[in-house]
Copies of this chain bind each other. A is one copy, B any other.
Amino acid sequence: MKNLLIAQSGGPTAAINATLIGALTVAEISDGVDKVYGALNGIQGVLEERFIELNNITNDTMTMKALIHTPAAALGSCRFKLDKREQYEEIIAILRKYDISYFIYIGGNDSMDTVWKLSSYCEENGIDDIFIMGAPKTIDNDLEEIDHCPGFGSAAKYIATTFAELERDISVYCTEAVTIVEVMGRNSGWLTAASVLSRLNGNIGPSLIYLCESEFSNDQFIEDVKEKLKEHKGIIIAVSEGIKHANGKYVTEEMQSGTTDMFGHAAIAGAARYLERLVKEKIGCKVRSIELSLMQRASTHIASETDIMESRMLGMKALQCALEGKSGEMASIKRTSSDTYALQFLSVPIEKVANREKKVPASWINQRGNDVTDEMIQYLYPLIQGELNISYNKGIPQHLVLNSNKSQ
């Protein structure tokens, strides 16, 4: 028996189940795999032996489709970092118990750390019949050694569409108004940059875009807003949740000092809310802040077809690599041509990915730090192309639930 174990980890995305399906379909067509187990709640579920069988999913195409179109990790997730040698031993013993030869872990840079540690442990201990591969996933697009990350394209499409729709909404009145939209990203501004794509259809798009890679100055921001209000009465501004002042502190940290909530505790608020108050104080026009919150990573109903198809390919590639005897690597994408958007699916050493973060290059941000360059648009553009044929049941999208969160 050569069994397969798959688990998912890290923050949810719209595409992580497509990667799961990718691995499942390769398992289905391969003679090398017998049983397929899914661990519930990532590596934590492996340690607790909370396994479900997944072979039946590929038996029904409509079930597969429903799973691909279900947002967030269908197997559940965890925030759990391996840090003890005994844990590695324990995991290997569990894999042996279930005759697991292949383990695919789908996740972000923390999860790749798990893949790295486990595969290193195997190598150091001469375990050569268990193959552990990483499959990437993160809406943040901050993984190294990959052109772009699964899940990012769908979030980017949601963001671009939402900015286009918000632009229509804020354009109906003829009074001066500023709308500040906060996008996820504490350390990398890729998602915020994606707001620029709302300009593709002739929209104005965000009048100003502030990524967390640039130093944020309150004074320059107010100058920028005043300038843009001369061009349009209603303007939209995109801002990363993680923008920082020159002193290296998040702008949101600054707000928390000295402000209190109804219980007398320090008030916690986001970057957009901070800027909302700044505009109210310094300009005094109508101003509103919006957080795209969890919707930007959960809105599979408007996923990018490109993203979903590539995410699936990466799940396929991860298992294929394991079947070919690779271990301690991550399935990856290389862009071989930007002109025609050609890709190559390959695998990369896991130690080059684990615990690292890819930031937006400075050359893709304009000089003043309030917009992105054409190179950024060219890079992002292909990632949001295409739409899914979502199945709606009773008026809402059909999802497949593998993991309930019932209290014990």
A residues whose Cβ falls under 8 Å from a Cβ of B: 8, 12, 41, 44, 70-73, 76-79, 157, 160-162, 164-166, 168-174, 179, 197-198, 200-203, 229-234, 254-255, 258-263, 265, 267, 269, 274, 277, 281, 288, 290-295, 297-302, 304, 381, 384-387, 390, 392-399, 401, 403-407
Contacts and interface: CB of A to CB of B under 8 A. Distances in A.
User: Which 10 residue pairs of A and B lie closest in terms of their CB atoms, listed nearest first?
Assistant: A384-B395, A77-B172, A200-B394, A72-B168, A165-B298, A169-B298, A171-B405, A72-B169, A290-B293, A233-B405
A196 to B, nearest CB: 11
B169 A71 contact: yes
Given A165-B300, A169-B12, A395 B290 contact: no
Given A229-B407, A259-B262, A263-B277, A201 B71 contact: no
B263 A267 contact: no
B258 A259 contact: no
A294 B166 contact: yes
Copies of the polypeptide in the assembly: 2
B259 A164 contact: no
Contact of A201 (B73, B203, B262, B394): B394
Which of A263, A301, A396 has the most B CB atoms < 10 Å from its CB? A396
Nearest to A14: B165
B174 A295 contact: no
Contacts of A166: 294-295, 298
Contacts of A203: 399, 401
Which of A71, A172, A230, A406: most chain B CB closer than 10 A?
Answer: A172
Contacts of A396: 157, 160-161, 164, 197-198, 200-201, 384
27 contacts: A41-B173, A72-B168, A76-B173, A77-B172, A157-B395, A160-B395, A161-B396, A162-B298, A166-B294, A169-B298, A171-B405, A172-B403, A174-B405, A179-B294, A197-B394, A197-B395, A201-B394, A201-B397, A231-B406, A232-B407, A255-B262, A259-B259, A259-B260, A259-B262, A261-B267, A290-B293, A384-B396
A59 to B, nearest CB: 20
A73 B234 CA distance: 14
A389 to B, nearest CB: 10
Contacts of A72: 165, 168-169, 171-172
B381 A395 contact: yes
Contacts of A254: 262
Nearest to A302: B301
Nearest to A44: B174
Given A384-B396, A395-B385, A12 B406 contact: no
Contact of A41 (B165, B174, B267): B174
